[in-house]
A and B are shown apart, each in its own frame.
Chain A
Amino acid sequence: GIQVEQSPPDLILQEGANSTLRCNFSDSVNNLQWFHQNPWGQLINLFYIPSGTKQNGRLSATTVATERYSLLYISSSQTTDSGVYFCAYSGGGADGLTFGKGTHLIIQP
């Protein structure tokens, strides 16, 4: 199956900092999503972004399908941004979404 790698695995930042999370995949994918799992375990949809760039408030995402990566940008971090960020794809002959291992983000006040 398609391999997906997320980096960095862990990130600790001060409130107000900016960050870039990366998702690399080993082959073409049909769909790419970014999720935020908050400290209560809820999976929150951030972006559905098979290609191109999208922005939602302080968050934006870019997927370059031809180069097989996606980036999630978080600007002016807040403590509520803490949690685990997952990228997930569908495609490559697999059904459903295949998840990366996530980036664990801690925003300190």
Chain B
Amino acid sequence: DAGITQSPRHKVTETGTPVTLRCHQTENHRYMYWYRQDPGHGLRLIHYSYGVKDTDKGEVSDGYSVSRSKTEDFLLTLESATSSQTSVYFCAISGGRNTEAFFGQGTRLTVV
């Protein structure tokens, strides 16, 4: 299995609080991604990174920010969580832009 660890695996937080999800990889892959999965929408790309300090927006980036200060870590931050951000969040990695991607185990976030 690809070495991808997401933390925390489950989190319940209150509306308006900041939340940071962490993705850690041991594969030294260049690309890292954050997706969210919602019923009726499938998986959608939030943000991605193509190198240290190099990030870009995906399809559903509003309300989220990311940072990548080391190759192995990609952080997703919800500055002020809202109920619409209740979702399952997946991190993924790939060696190149169009190469095989591998997913972490997911983080279930509930905003109450």
Q: Does B27 contact A (CB under 8 A)?
A: no
A96–B100 CB distance below 8 A: no
Q: Does B97 contact A (CB under 8 A)?
A: yes
Contact with B along A82-109 (1 / 0, CB 8 A): 0000101011001111111110000000
Q: Does B74 contact A (CB under 8 A)?
A: no
Chain A residues whose C-beta falls within 8 Å of the C-beta of B90 in the assembled complex:
43
Out of B42, B45, B88, B106, which one reaches A96, CB within 8 Å?
A: B45
Contact with A along B34-53 (1 / 0, CB 8 A): 01000000111100100000
Considering the complex, which residues of chain A in the window 52-91 have a beta carbon less than 8 Å from any beta carbon of chain B? 86, 88, 90-91
Q: Smallest CB-CB separation from B102: which chain A residue?
A: A45
Q: Smallest CB-CB separation from A101: which chain B residue?
A: B42
Among B44, B56, B90, B99, the one with the most A-chain Cβ atoms within 10 Å of its Cβ is: B99
Q: How many residues of A contact B (CB 8 A)?
A: 22
Contact A31:B99 (CB < 8 A) given known A95-B56, A96-B35: yes
A108 to chain B, nearest CB (A): 23
The total number of A-B Cβ pairs within 8 Å is 55
B102–A96 CB distance below 8 A: no
Q: Does B101 contact A (CB under 8 A)?
A: yes
* Overall SS of chain A's interface: strand
Out of A41, A91, A96, A102, which one reaches B33, CB within 8 Å?
A: A96
A71 to chain B, nearest CB (A): 19
Q: A45 to B92, alpha carbons, bound, how many Å?
A: 11
A102 to chain B, nearest CB (A): 6
Contact A90:B42 (CB < 8 A) given known A43-B90, A95-B58, A96-B48: no
29 A-B interface contacts by CB (under 8 A): A31-B98, A31-B100, A33-B101, A41-B88, A41-B106, A41-B108, A42-B105, A42-B106, A43-B103, A45-B100, A86-B42, A90-B97, A90-B98, A91-B98, A95-B48, A95-B58, A95-B97, A96-B45, A96-B48, A96-B58, A96-B92, A96-B101, A97-B43, A97-B45, A99-B42, A99-B43, A100-B42, A101-B42, A102-B42
